[in-house]
Structure 1
Amino acid sequence: MRRPIFSAMTETPTVHDWGGGRPAFRRWLDAFYDLVEDDPELARLFGGTVSAEHRDHVTTWWCEVMGGPADYTAHHGGYEHMLAHHRGLAITPELRLRFVTLLSKAADLAELPADPEFRAALMGYAEWGTRLAQQNSQPGAAVVEHAPVPCWGWGVAPPYQP
């Protein structure tokens, strides 16, 4: 898949825009959840299958986190709603790592941009978010009840623009 072309004269694009916007993120997350459904241990966290509604909501979350429209906050309850979905799941370190690994594999399958800067931003959030989800999923976890949806950026290396 070709990545968008931005001239050196424009602003640095968001991770969301660089990745191809909502259609690309949806393609990626559909590929990811297809892989999840083929993994019995991960699939059990979703009742065996991942609904179209869940896929849509998670796409909306990722788009907002990566600098797209704040639609998860506006229409789905923001951070508090996402937190509620993870409470009590008792995610193990092994499941968390499989989850992140499948996110990376699905990015290849969905032909998201393969440049190191984009993938580092994407997987940086995947690592951060899954570690927080794992922590918050434990029985009796002390969680931060109210927080904004994170807005992830490029970190150390913005996209290469010759």
Structure 2
Amino acid sequence: MTTVYEAAGGYDGLRQLALAWHERVMADQVVSHAFSHGFRADHSERLAAYWAEALGGPAMYSERYGDQTAVVRMHSGNGPHEEMDRRAISCFDQALADVGLDAEDRLWQVLHDYWSWATTSVMNRYQESADDVPARLDLPSWSWDGLRDPAS
């Protein structure tokens, strides 16, 4: 069986998804607020590398850009933001359609489940302060069956 990474088109497919998602969130009046402080010009490439690693592909993010702790810290300390999370997930679902995935497709569902989980748990766990994020977090790995046990 292929990995989710391979089924999504590898890095190039995930990069297209990241570009589509970024375009959607920048057009959303609520979610775009998260980028109001600015963002890196290579945001979509970095996001695609992160997804590649999380979805069973090569360790592109960890080898090129940083670790999970830095990612979680970047998303922490902003208090609760349930509406923003819901809208970010909606933008992701729309981006899945933008890159040609159908909501009836298993890959669409797996990617939706991954994004929803990551948005509402991993990136939302330390709402009070980025200083609460522990060091040396492992980048979570997601498969066709959901979250993989880091020990496996």
Tell me if the contact between 1:45 and 1:89 (Cα under 8 Å) persists in the aligned partners: no
Cα 1:63–1:91, aligned 2, differ >3 Å: closer, same or farther? farther
1:153 has 2:143 as partner: yes
1:32 has 2:34 as partner: no
TM-score normalised by length of structure 1: 0.79
> How many percent of aligned residue pairs carry the same amino acid?
25
Q: 1:49 deviation in Å?
A: 6.2
The answer for the alignment partner of 1:7 in structure 2 is: none
Q: 1:118 deviation in Å?
A: 1.1
What SS class does the counterpart of residue 87 from structure 1 fall into?
coil
The answer for the alignment partner of 1:4 in structure 2 is: none
What SS class does the counterpart of residue 40 from structure 1 fall into?
coil
Q: 1:139 deviation in Å?
A: 1.7
CA–CA distance in structure 2, aligned partners of residues 42 and 27 of structure 1: 19
- AA paired with 2:125? Q
The answer for the alignment partner of 2:125 in structure 1 is: 135
Q: Which runs of 5+ in 1 are unaligned?
A: 1-11, 157-162
Please list the CA deviations of residues 86-110 of structure 1 after superposition, one character each: whole Å capped at 9, or x if unmatched: 0223351111011011101101011
What SS class does the counterpart of residue 52 from structure 1 fall into?
coil
CA–CA distance in structure 1, aligned partners of residues 80 and 54 of structure 2: 22
Cα 1:22–1:113, aligned 2, differ >3 Å: closer, same or farther? farther
The answer for the alignment partner of 2:72 in structure 1 is: 83
Q: Which runs of 5+ in 2 are unaligned?
A: 147-152
Point out the structure with max Rg over C-alpha.
1
Matches within 5 A, 1:1-162: 12-47=1-36, 51-112=40-101, 116-132=105-121, 133-136=123-126, 138-140=127-129, 142-155=132-145
Q: CA RMSD in A?
A: 2.1
Q: 1:143 deviation in Å?
A: 3.7
TM-score normalised by length of structure 2: 0.84
- AA paired with 1:123? H
The answer for the alignment partner of 1:6 in structure 2 is: none
Q: 1:146 deviation in Å?
A: 2.7
CA–CA distance in structure 1, aligned partners of residues 129 and 69 of structure 2: 17
